[in-house]
Amino acid sequence: MSTGGELDSSEEFPYLAHAKPRPGQIDMIRECREALRSGGFHLAAAPTGIGKTAAALAAALEIAEATPNKKTIFFLTSRQSQHRIVVDTVRRINALRREQDPVTLVDMIGQSGMCVQPFAKESSHVFSMLCSGARREKTCKPWLTKAPGLTKRILDSPLHVDELVDLAKIHRVDGQIAQTCPWKAAREAANHADVFVGDYNHLFDEGVRSSSLEAMGLPMEDIIIIVDEAHNLPDRIRMTMERVITPTIARNATMELEEYTGALTAMYQTTGADSTGLELDLATWALGVMKIVRQKTADLFRQLHNDLTGDVNELNVEVDRFNELFHRSCDEYEGISGQQTLSEEQVQSTARHTVKKEHRMQLLADVLNRCDIDLDVGEGEDPMEPDSHRLGHILDCVNGFGSTTALCLVFSAKGKEGKITSHLLDPGLVSGPVFEGTAGAILMSGTLYPPQMYADMLALPAQKTTKTAYDSPFAGERRPVLVAGDVSTKYTQRSPAMWDKIRSHIQALIEGTPGHIAVFAPSYKMMEEILANSHFQGVRKIIESREWSKNDIDRLVEDLRSERSAGKRILLCGVYGARLSEGIDYNGGILDAVACIGIPNAPPSVLSSALKDYASDRFGANNAWRYTVTQPAINAILQAMGRPIRSIGDRALILLLDQRHTDRTYATCYPKDLRMNATNTPMTTASFARRFFSRVHTIDEG
């Protein structure tokens, strides 16, 4: 792998944020650049320390500048902490290019996170309703306040989103402070920026995408995408498509629709507007249908409960069975009312539907999603999303994907009445058309491994896609991996004696390590069993909680720094896939070691079986188990392993506490350059740790 030698980076890489390229960085820039030059896609499994953010931006900015039509780079990430890294990287680029035009950037998070109004603290769905209502009724002064000066300031030099919000609060008009909406100002500036930093939803959620791009004035074909932490994108798309229905939701949706119809009736009687009359007709039809749906939903749930046998508490619900419930309700309503479903004029008001049977569910979903009501709540209670919208969303999902084998409906008996949840098994149905509609993309992550799996899952076109797994600068000397061959969390081997062995290895790691250690378990239950009630000498334990807020996480990082400065040590106990294993940058070398307990294979379920069956049909039987079980589990461990290595000067010891890591099934899921060392006793573990930390030290990059 080329390191670039003494190459002057400014000559070949004019947008690189580093005066001297890092190992592996040159190869990544060249390969990203080559893919983008032809409008293609590059998947980069790029370890931390290689400088992947700087490499991706260097390639994308160079290609964007070279194209005749202006291209905007969408740097999309699921983590707000990464926003700051991107902004700081662009600032470094500009500092190195003092004589050239600066790279302009707009940094945005969710609308509520940027709002300066008191209702910004409401739940996301309620905030959305209150915000849209305030804008519609022209009662939001920040939204109405013009901010040309703020827009210019955004483009003058890159701002972190929190800096933008602070500026919006003191924005002046004619010398007087006039608060303006920072979210609106950022969106207006995006059209003129070189780089836009935001969440995945801006392109991979259909509703957000259409509204965002229209407001920004940016066509899809003029966007270059950089997807950071791209290993999260498939699950994020699946999560976006998850919707729930219960008998209570069906009941409440009917009541909300009745209220909406009443409001429309009063409005029509007052105004006589044709548009109101047409919407009233649609709402009246939908209400009639929903009164029948409500009863049939209750009947369906009783049948599903009866279908369960033995200890089974979930089952698959055929999409046709779900669809038939709504179609029978439409048929019964039409028969009872003795009238046609809708007139041609009424249907034309929806702009895209006809009265044909196959369009009835979409028409019902549209009316439910438009249902605009005031939610009354008790004192001290938070308002929630209208259940009419919840039902409309699940109908949208069924309408969009119900004709394919990629939609799975799962009934769970848990809770008071049970629930049906929709699951999209194939995120590529969403991501594929998005990627193909753009000017190219870079997808990168330290755990985008193997790249081919993610190319398959995200439906990237094979003929336009390149893939590289870059060597890690830490795989050998600076990040050794030690596998304990005498322990396992395999179900058949679990016992108090096994937990004692695992605890002995952790204590040995503590004795051989000078600083803080993080330990991750497959579940909160296993974390409690092995770690929570056990005493470890020489450290203070901190146990991860599901209830932690962002402020709690921020305080935790500061605690780690202050405790290290005081010469004290912490044993940080967390869970794979939760906040501590993926949501934090432990920069500055504040973690010296990580212990990974077990392998976080997903437990058997209706959904996991459906995923394996679909993957077998879509990607072949040989790939099905790896794509849905073993590789996701190992990638969760790789994420945890990467927590202490945040820069090229860091060093850390990794202890894998499960002998199965050396089995071929799991060993093939690791990057080829990762080498494993063996330990079979706690004494060996402690000895290995002492030798490593006496020999290898952190390097000050400054």
CA–CA distance from 571 to each of 11, 400, 511, 513, 537 (Å)? 47, 47, 12, 11, 10
As a whole number, mean pLDDT of residues 59-66 equals: 95
- Banded pLDDT at 81 (limits 50, 70, 90): confident
Rounded to whole angstroms, how far apart are CA atoms 245 and 505? Answer: 46
Q: Give me the half-sphere count of Cα atoms (radius 13 Å) on the Cβ side of residue 464.
A: 18
Q: Mean pLDDT over all residues of the chain?
A: 88
What pLDDT score was predicted for residue 377?
A: 39
Q: What percent of the chain has pLDDT over 90?
A: 65
pLDDT digits (tens, 9 = 90+) for 652-682: 999 999 999 999 999 999 988 888 999 999 9
Rounded to whole angstroms, how far apart are CA atoms 639 and 447? Answer: 7
Query: How many H helices and E strands in the chain?
Result: 30, 20
As a whole number, mean pLDDT of residues 546-562 equals: 85
DSSP structure class, residue 447: T
Rounded to whole angstroms, how far apart are CA atoms 489 and 160? Answer: 43
CA–CA distance from 632 to each of 9, 326, 508, 577, 600 (Å)? 36, 37, 29, 10, 9
- Banded pLDDT at 355 (limits 50, 70, 90): very low
Sign of CA dihedral 54, 59, 65, 69: negative
As a whole number, mean pLDDT of residues 392-399 equals: 92
CA–CA distance from 116 to each of 141, 180, 199, 378 (Å)? 10, 8, 20, 25
Contact 425, 242 (CB under 8 A): no
> What residues form DSSP beta bridges with 347?
none
- Banded pLDDT at 700 (limits 50, 70, 90): low
Contact 16, 58 (CB under 8 A): yes
What pLDDT score was predicted for residue 475?
A: 53
What pLDDT score was predicted for residue 521?
A: 96
pLDDT digits (tens, 9 = 90+) for 91-121: 999 999 888 899 999 999 988 889 988 888 7
What pLDDT score was predicted for residue 583?
A: 64
pLDDT digits (tens, 9 = 90+) for 456-489: 999 999 999 999 998 876 556 788 999 999 999 9
Which range has the worst mean pLDDT, 121-135, 187-201, 615-629?
Answer: 121-135
What pLDDT score was predicted for residue 126?
A: 75
Rounded to whole angstroms, how far apart are CA atoms 318 and 327? Answer: 15
Q: What is the 3-state secondary structure (H, E, C) of 15-29?
A: CCCCCCCCCCHHHHH
Q: What is the 3-state secondary structure (H, E, C) of 500-527?
A: HHHHHHHHHHHHHCCCCEEEEECCHHHH
User: For 481-695, which CATH class?
Assistant: alpha beta
What pLDDT score was predicted for residue 10?
A: 59
Rounded to whole angstroms, how far apart are CA atoms 541 and 151? Answer: 47
Sign of CA dihedral 118, 138, 278, 396: negative
What pLDDT score was predicted for residue 348?
A: 44
What pLDDT score was predicted for residue 346?
A: 47
Task: Determine which helix (DSSP H) or strand (DSSP E) holds 577, and give its type and residue range.
Answer: none
pLDDT digits (tens, 9 = 90+) for 292-311: 999 999 999 999 999 998 88
As a whole number, mean pLDDT of residues 553-574 equals: 91
> What residues form DSSP beta bridges with 572?
518, 542
pTM over 0.85: yes
Which tokens belong to 476?
């050998």
As a whole number, mean pLDDT of residues 315-326 equals: 94
CA–CA distance from 241 to each of 366, 401, 424 (Å)? 17, 10, 6
Which range has the worst mean pLDDT, 14-23, 123-132, 680-689?
Answer: 123-132
> What residues form DSSP beta bridges with 195?
73, 105
Rounded to whole angstroms, how far apart are CA atoms 100 and 51? Answer: 23
Please list the residue range(s) of the chain that carry CATH number 3.40.50.300.
Answer: 481-695
Q: Is the pLDDT of residue 5 over 50?
A: no
Of 530, 500, 516, which is closest to residue 682 (Cα–Cα)? 500
